[in-house]
Structure 1
């Protein structure tokens, strides 16, 4: 049992990439090439919907943006269950 615990402790120090997805959209290349300053791209997510939180491309949670000390932050609202489904016990 101590071998498994020790192995897990080693993994705790591995760097991973956490990213937050605001939303997505499909665009034609000509429309992307026409983007410039002050362009607005409409996304598929409403402002009151939770944002997807990914670790190395895998959905792990959903959350909401907060502002603190002049910076953006993320409040985790629910953890994702297996296969990225919302966890039934999350609130």
Structure 2
């Protein structure tokens, strides 16, 4: 799914029972997953000087795990793999509940 506008729409509202968690209700909600390799800060003049072949150093070591984000919240860490000539991410560790909640609280 390339963007959220392709998400299916529900015909009528459904609600979960008040007495239990109905996770199935949430199963079809599309979310955006991304992988953060690293980041850096540049001045605008440095960005304008970038050319083909330029190298931008990131704040992460080559052997560090990558952050796996869902809707901007850290959910796991992993490593890059290739599968049939395509990139993929192997999940190595799941983020703690505290780390996931910190990401949600920052956006609120």
TM-score by length of 1: 0.84
Larger Rg: 2
Higher strand share: 1
Residue ranges of structure 1 left out of the alignment (5+ in a row): 86-91
Q: CA RMSD in A?
A: 1.6
TM-score by length of 2: 0.71
Number of corresponding residues: 83
Q: Which has the higher contact order (CA 8 A, sep 6+)?
A: 1
Which string of whole-angstrom CA distances, capped at 9 and with x for unpartnered residues, describes residues 21-46 of structure 1? 00011111100111121111110111
Q: Distance in 1 between matches of 2:99 and 2:93?
A: 11
Residue ranges of structure 2 left out of the alignment (5+ in a row): 1-15, 101-108
